[in-house]
Structure 1
Amino acid sequence: MTRFARYPSLKDRPVVISGGASGIGESLVRHFADQGARVGFVDIAEAAGAALAAELTAAGRAVRFTRCDVTDIEAYQAAIAGFAAAHGAARVLINNAAHDQRHNWAEVTPAYWDERLAVNLKHAFFAMQAVAPGMAAAGGGSIINFGSISWMIMSPSIPLYETAKAAVHGLTRSMARELGRSAIRVNSLVPGAVVTPRQLDLWLKPEDLKDIEAHQALSGHLTPDDCARMALFLAADDSAMISGQHFLVDAGWANS
C-alpha cells in the first residue's frame, strides 16, 4: 500500500497533459494513470511518448499518446479532440509543455521572441479554449497551468522563458474568472528547482545542486513526483473550491 493519497474522483476521469513524454510531464502521466484516470498526452518526442503509452497500456492503464508540436495550435486542438473522442471530454487539463532554452537578451529577434512565447505560453490559452466547452458540458473540471519560480528569483539567461512564466499567473487569474461559473477551476502549479535528467545533462553540475539546496528551507532536491502529487490534488474533487491560486512546490526557496 502506497503512503501517498488515492483520489477516488480521478478514477476514469479524462485528463489531457502537454509535454508528457519526459521529466515532469512523464511523472504526471504516470501518476494520473496510476489513479485510474484516462490520460491523453502530447509531446514532440515521438519515440519516448509512444514507449511510455505502450508501457502503461500494457499495465492495464487507459493512456493514449499523440505526437504533436504544441506550437501548431490547429494540430494541438485536433489532438485534444481526438482524446475527447476516445476518453470523453477532458475534465482535467494540465498545461505543462515548456522549454527553458538559454538565450542572450541582446541577441533576441522578433522571430525568436514569438517562438519562445509560443512554446511557453500561447498553447496553454488555446488548449483551454479547446477543452472548456466540453468540460463545462460535463459538469466542470480543473485546469492546471505550470509556472516557474525562475522569474521570482531572477534566474539569469532565460528572460523570455521568465516573461512567459510570469504571464502564466495573469492567465490563470483571468481564466479562473472567465470559467468559474462553468464550474471550471484554474490554478497554477509553480515548481522550484526540479532535478530532471534533462537538467542534469544540460545545466546542473554538482556545485549547482549544492547551491540549490542552500537556497531551500528543506533539505534534498525536488523531483518531478513532488509536482505530480500536487497536480493530483488540484485535479481531484478534494480541491473543489480552490481557483485562481498559485501553488509553489519549491522546498521553501529563499532568494538571499
Structure 2
Amino acid sequence: MRTVYDDLSGASVFITGGGSGIGASLTEGFLRQGAKVGFVGRSDASAFVDQMERETGNRPLFVQCDITNIAALQAAIDTCADTHGPITVLVNNAANDQRHATLDVDEAFWDWSQAVNLKAYFFACQAVIAGMKTAGGGSIINFTSISYMMGNAGYPAYTTANSGINGMTRSLAREFGPDSIRVNALAPGWVLTQKQLDMWAEPEALAAHLDRQCFKEHLVPDDIVSPTLFLASKASRMMTGQSLVVDGGVVVTG
C-alpha cells in the first residue's frame, strides 16, 4: 500500500536517470499516482517505457540524453514541458558514484564527476524555474547521499558533489521561496540497486554497513519512492531547504 497524493495526479514531473535503478522505481511511483512523467537517461529505455505503460496504464515520455550535455538536458526538459505542461516536480536523481582514490584523480575525471553529480543538477533546476513560476509553484528534489555525512573514503569527488548539492538546495530554496517553489534534498543510504550489487556489494561491506544501521534490513529502491512522493506533494508544502535522510538509521541529523 502507498499513500495517494491527489495533487500529483496530472502533475508534470521530470526525472533524471528515470529508466534504471532508483530512478526507475521513482518513474513507476509517479506514474501510479497519475502524474505525467518525463525522464532522461543515457541508455535506450524504450522497453522500460512500454513496460510501464502495460503495468500502470500510464506511458512516460523518454528522451535519451547525457546529462553532462547541458544544452541537451535543457532541451529534453523543454520537450517534456511542451508535451505535459510546465514541469511542477523536478527530481534530480541521476548520479555516478564510481570509486576512485584521491591520488589517482586527474582534472578530466574531476570535471566529469562534478558535471554528472552537481553541475547537471544546477542547470536542471535553472531550466524548470520559469515554468514553475508560471504554474504558481513547484517542488524540486535533489538527490544527495549520506556518504559525505559519514566521511566515507573511496570516492572524494562524489562526496564533494553530495555536500555541494546541499548548499545549492538551501540557496535555491531561499531564492525561490517567494515564488512558492520548494527545494529539498533527499539523502538515501546504501540502496541495493542492481548496479550496486554487481559492482560494490561485497559480503563484508554489506555486513559492516548493516551493522551501522538501526534497522537490520538493506534498503531497496522502492524504499526511496514514498519519501520522494511526499516531498513532491503538497503534503510537505511547508518544507523547503531541508535534507531528508532515508538510510535505515545510519547517520543522525539535527
Q: Which range, TM-score by smaller chain?
A: over 0.9
Alpha carbons 1:37, 1:62 under 8 Å: kept? no
State the match for 2:23 in structure 1. 25
| 2:26 equivalent to 1:57 | no
Distance 1:12 1:254 in 2: 36
Q: What does the per-residue CA deviation read over 1:87-132, in whole Å, with 9 as the maximum and x for residues that have no partner?
A: 0010000000100011121121112111110000000110011000
- Alignment partner for residue 173 of structure 1, among 170, 183, 187? 170
The yes-or-no answer on 1:230 pairing with 2:227 is yes
The answer for the alignment partner of 1:14 in structure 2 is 12
- C-alpha distance in structure 2 between counterparts of 1:88 and 1:60, whole Å: 20
Cα deviation, residue 62, structure 1: 3.6
Using structure 2 for the length normalisation, give the TM-score: 0.96
1:117 and 1:141 mapped to 2: Cα distance?
A: 26
Question: How far apart, CA to CA, are the structure 1 residues paired with 2:27 and 2:163?
Answer: 25
Alignment length (residue pairs): 251
Equivalent in the alignment of 1:43: 41
CA deviation after TM superposition for structure 1 residue 213, in Å: 1.1
> What CA deviation, in whole Å up to 9, does each residue of 1:182-203 have, x standing for no partner?
1100000000111111101000
Further displaced range: 69-78 or 246-255: 246-255
| Separation (CA, whole Å) in 2 of partners of 1:99 and 1:241 | 31
Listed one character per residue, the Cα deviations across residues 232-251 of structure 1 (whole Å, up to 9, x for unaligned) are 00000101111000000011
Residue in 2 that maps onto 1:129:
126
Structure 2 segments unaligned to the other structure (5+ residues): none
- TM superposition shift of 1:21: 1.3
The alpha-carbon deviation at position 4 of structure 1 amounts to 2.0
- The 2-side partners of 1:89 and 1:57 are apart by 22
Q: Choose the corresponding residue for 2:193, options 184, 191, 196.
A: 196
Question: Aligned runs of 1:1-256 on 2, under 5 Å?
Answer: 3-46=1-44, 49-58=45-54, 59-254=56-251
> Which AA in structure 1 matches 2:17?
G
More displaced 10-residue stretch of structure 1: 219-228 or 244-253 = 219-228
Q: Return the TM-score normalized by structure 1.
A: 0.96
